[in-house]
Amino acid sequence: MPPIKVAIAGAGGRMGRMLIDAVLASPDCRLSGALDVPGSPALEQDAGLHAGKATGVNVTADLHQGLAGAQVLIDFTRPEGTLAHLAVCRELGVRTVIGTTGFSAEQKAQIAAHATAQATVFSANMSVGVNVMLRLLRDAALALGPGYDIEVVESHHKHKVDAPSGTALAMGEVLAAARGTTLDANGVFTRHGHTGERTPGSIGFATVRGGDIIGEHTVMFCGAGERVEIAHKSSSRANYADGSLRAARFLAALPAGQAGLYGMADVLDLA
């Protein structure tokens, strides 16, 4: 089997650099292109420079150049960047792994529309642990029932720009669905001042930002006289990069012409 040709967007970013390292370390993958925005210090440099490696691939802001020859784009950037990349992926027939978070409902609908033409994996968290935790959360919410108040607490580094995290929202959606509701109806995202008592059935979110915390999520089921907590803590971004490469392999193995929107549950066979 020839190696899978993978392009990386956000090449100079925290995840972009991690993904380039993971591609270079994977014999079944080959780095075919690297993208970043005009003004990025990574631009026009070798994509392996941060790791002291010569890849022969220079980081470019030219989307057609960066995506030429790619089978799969892995995109961890910003919502507006991801959507611009998808337009060129459609044109060139490139499948996409989307790890970016912070999309609006309308932007998510654009991704779903894109996936009707090009196979796409879209997940707010590529780690195996978080995706297994999503299943545990559904089971816990169903088993514990409405008598337990649900609170989602997430902590991330000081550079993170969206809140709550995409993962916290994905957890909230699973929990809400298990209770037959939605976050639009029952999510509580801010508390300040005289809030009054907790609204029964609400799902609360709390956000911590500081230092270099990679990513931590705790869901509390608070009952009378007891509390169940289910937590996940990332100690390295390598988990996200490994999951992304699993998603790239999943996409590359789909039959030619097969479109569809997939999640990590499909990639990891947890569905």
Ligand X SMILES: O=C(O)C1=N[C@H](C(=O)O)C[C@H](O)C1
Ligand Y SMILES: NC(=O)C1=CN([C@@H]2O[C@H](COP(=O)(O)OP(=O)(O)OC[C@H]3O[C@@H](n4cnc5c(N)ncnc54)[C@H](OP(=O)(O)O)[C@@H]3O)[C@@H](O)[C@H]2O)C=CC1
The separation between the first and the last C-alpha atoms of the chain, rounded to the nearest angstrom, is 27
CB atoms under 10 Å from CB of 202, counted, come to 15
Calculate the CA 103 to chain-centre distance.
Answer: 11
What is d(CA 61, CA 40) in angstroms, rounded to the nearest whole number? 9
Which 8-state DSSP code applies to residue 33? Answer: E
156 counts as binding ligand X under rule CB under 6 A = yes
Q: In this chain, which of 48, 66, 99, 204 binds ligand Y, going by CB under 6 A?
A: 99
What is d(CA 7, CA 96) in angstroms, rounded to the nearest whole number? 9
Told to judge if 160 belongs to the known catalytic residues of this protein, a careful annotator would answer yes
Q: Please indicate if the annotation marks 100 as binding a ligand.
A: yes
Site string for ligand X, 205-234 (x = CB under 6 A): ----------x-------------------
Nearer to ligand X, 95 or 156 (CB): 156
| Dihedral (CA of 29, 30, 32, 38) sign | positive
Beta strands in 66-179 (DSSP E): 72-75, 95-98, 120-122, 149-156
Q: Please indicate if the annotation marks 10 as binding a ligand.
A: yes
156 binds, among ligand X, ligand Y, none (CB under 5 to 8 A by kind): ligand X
Our CA dihedral for 268, 236, 77, 191, rounded to 10 degrees, sits at 100
Q: Please indicate if the annotation marks 120 as binding a ligand.
A: no
User: Is 142 exposed, middle or buried (CB count within 10 Å of its CB: 0-12, 13-18, 19+)?
Assistant: exposed
120 binds, among ligand X, ligand Y, none (CB under 5 to 8 A by kind): none
Told to judge if 194 belongs to the known catalytic residues of this protein, a careful annotator would answer no
33 counts as binding ligand Y under rule CB under 6 A = no
Q: Please indicate if the annotation marks 196 as binding a ligand.
A: no
Site string for ligand Y, 79-98 (x = CB under 6 A): -xx-----------------
Residues 164-203 that bind ligand Y (CB under 6 A): 166
Number of residues that bind ligand Y (CB under 6 A): 24
Binding site for ligand Y (CB under 6 A): 10, 12-16, 36-37, 40, 76-78, 80-81, 99-102, 123-126, 166, 240
Residues tagged active-site = 156, 160
